[in-house]
Structure 1
C-alpha cells in the first residue's frame, strides 16, 4: 500500500461542508506538494483553505536529500514518489473525483513534473480527471544563487558553520557543473523540471502566484514559463504579489491569497461542469 511507504497526510471534509459548497457534485481532491524543507504544520495552513471549501486534501513534501541531491545528480527518485502519490487516490477510493494541484517552489514542482509524466504516459492513470494546478513561487531554471539561498534557509541554524559552508560549496559546484556547464549534454539523460514541463505542458489550467521580490526563484523565469504555456494553448494566468518573499505570499497577504486559491478552484470546477455538459449534448438521442 502506498500509505506504508511515504509520509503524507490526508483530510476529509465533513459531508455538510462538501454539500454546501459543491451541491451534490463530487468534491475536489487537492494535492499539496510542499517546498523543500517545508514542515507539515506550515503546509496544513494552506490545506485549510481547501478543507473549509469542502475539499479532500492530501499533503506531501519530498525529503530534502531527494530534492537537493538526487535531482541534482540526475537520479529520478521522485518518479517513484509520484507513482505512490497517485496510488493514494485509489487507496482511498477518490480516483473518480476532480483532482487539483497546489504546488510550492521548485521542490514541489520537481515532483509535479513526474506526476504530469505519469498522467501523460501511464494507462493506469488515464481516467483521472485533473482540473487545474496552482503554482506558488515556481518554476525556476538554472538559478544557482537562488538554489543556494533555498538550501541555506532549509539547513537552518542548528548545523555548524563549517559543515554549512562545506555542504553549500559542494552543492554549488555540483549544480553549476551538471545543470549549467554540462546541461547541453546531461539534458538528454535527465532534463530538468523547468524544461520538461515547458516542452510538454499538461493541458489543464495553471495559475502562477509569484513576487518580483522573490530572492530564490527569478520572477522572469515564471513569466517565461507562463508565456510558453500560452503559446502552446494551455489556459494559464499569473499574479504578482510584488513585495512578498519566496513562498511568503500567504503569510503577507492571507485574505487575498486564500481568495485567489478558492476562486481559481471554483473556476476550474465550472470549466469541468461546462465540458461535461457539452459532452452530454453531443451524445445522440437513443
Structure 2
C-alpha cells in the first residue's frame, strides 16, 4: 500500500490563541504538507482520555482522510506536532480515538515543541511553582490582581494534583511520557526546547530525550537557549523551520 502526502496534525498548547496555532499550520503548508489543528484547554487536565476530543471535528476530519486514503489504496500518514503538555495530551487522546475506531494510519515521525514533561508528572512542579507563578504574573502591576491571579493558579494546580492522586493516577503528564516516549520509542522524534523555558524546563525535556535515546529512538534536538515557553518559532523562525526541514528530510522521505 502506498502512502499519501503526510498530514501534519498541529496540537496547540493549552488555551493557545487560534491565530497563534495557525502560524504553525501555515509553516507546514508552506513546506508542502496538509494540516489539521486541534486545540487544548485546561479543563482537559481533569478529564479522562475517553472524553477529550471524542467529538472533535479534527478527529472526524482525520477519519474522513483515512477513509479516502483507503479507497485510493493508500495509507494516511500523520506527523504530530506537539506544542507543550497540552499538545502532547491532545495527541495522546486523538490517537487513542483513532485506534479504537479502527482507523488505519501511519506515524513516521513526531515533533515536540516545548515538551514533553519527564515521567515525574505534575510532581515536578512542586519545587518550581513559585517561579512559574512569578513569570505568569510578572506583567500584572496591581498587587491585588497579582495576588488574585496567584491564588487562582495555586488553587487550580492543587485541584489537578488532587484529581490524579492515589488510585486515580497516573496523571496526564505521566501518561504522555509513558506513551509518547517509552511505548513509541521506534518513532523518530525532534525535540525543540530552550534553557530559558521555566514552564517545561530544559532538564525536563532532556530527561525525556535521554529516556528516548536509551530506548533506541532516532532523534534530533535543538536548544534555542534564550526563547521562552512556546516562543521558539516566534524568536527564531528561520532556525525553527530549517530544523524541521532537516529532520523530516531525514526521517520522512
- 8 Å CA contact 2:8–2:34 kept in 1: the answer is yes
Q: Give CA deviations for 1:253-282 in whole Å, capped at 9, x if unaligned.
A: 110101111222222322xxxxxxxxxxxx
Q: 1:219 to 1:253 in 2, by over 3 A?
A: same
SS of 1:192's partner is helix
- Residue 193, structure 1, aligned to residue 172, structure 2: no
RMSD (Å), alpha carbons: 3.3
Q: Which runs of 5+ in 1 are unaligned?
A: 1-23, 271-286
- Pairing of 1:129-208 with structure 2 (within 5 A): 129-140=106-117, 141-142=121-122, 143-144=124-125, 145=128, 149=132, 153=136, 161=145, 163-178=148-163, 182=165, 185-187=167-169, 192-197=174-179, 198-201=181-184, 203-208=186-191
Partner of 2:199: 216
Q: 1:218 to 1:57 in 2, by over 3 A?
A: same
Q: Give CA deviations for 1:236-255 in whole Å, capped at 9, x if unaligned.
A: 22211111111111111110
- Structure 1 position 199, deviation (Å): 4.0
Q: 1:104 to 1:189 in 2, by over 3 A?
A: closer
SS of 1:61's partner is strand
Larger Rg belongs to: 1
- Structure 1 position 80, deviation (Å): 4.2
SS of 1:164's partner is helix
Q: Give CA deviations for 1:122-165 in whole Å, capped at 9, x if unaligned.
A: 3612x301111100001123233459948x859x97xx826534
- 8 Å CA contact 1:28–1:55 kept in 2: the answer is yes
- Pairing of 1:1-286 with structure 2 (within 5 A): 26-66=4-44, 71=45, 73=46, 75-77=47-49, 79-81=51-53, 84=56, 85-92=58-65, 93=68, 96-118=75-97, 122=100, 124-125=102-103, 127-140=104-117, 141-142=121-122, 143-144=124-125, 145=128, 149=132, 153=136, 161=145, 163-178=148-163, 182=165, 185-187=167-169, 192-197=174-179, 198-201=181-184, 203-270=186-253
Q: How many aligned positions are there?
A: 234
Q: Give CA deviations for 1:73-104 in whole Å, capped at 9, x if unaligned.
A: 4x215654167444312324357332111110
Q: Give CA deviations for 1:155-204 in whole Å, capped at 9, x if unaligned.
A: x97xx82653442131132244455xx45x43268773344324422532
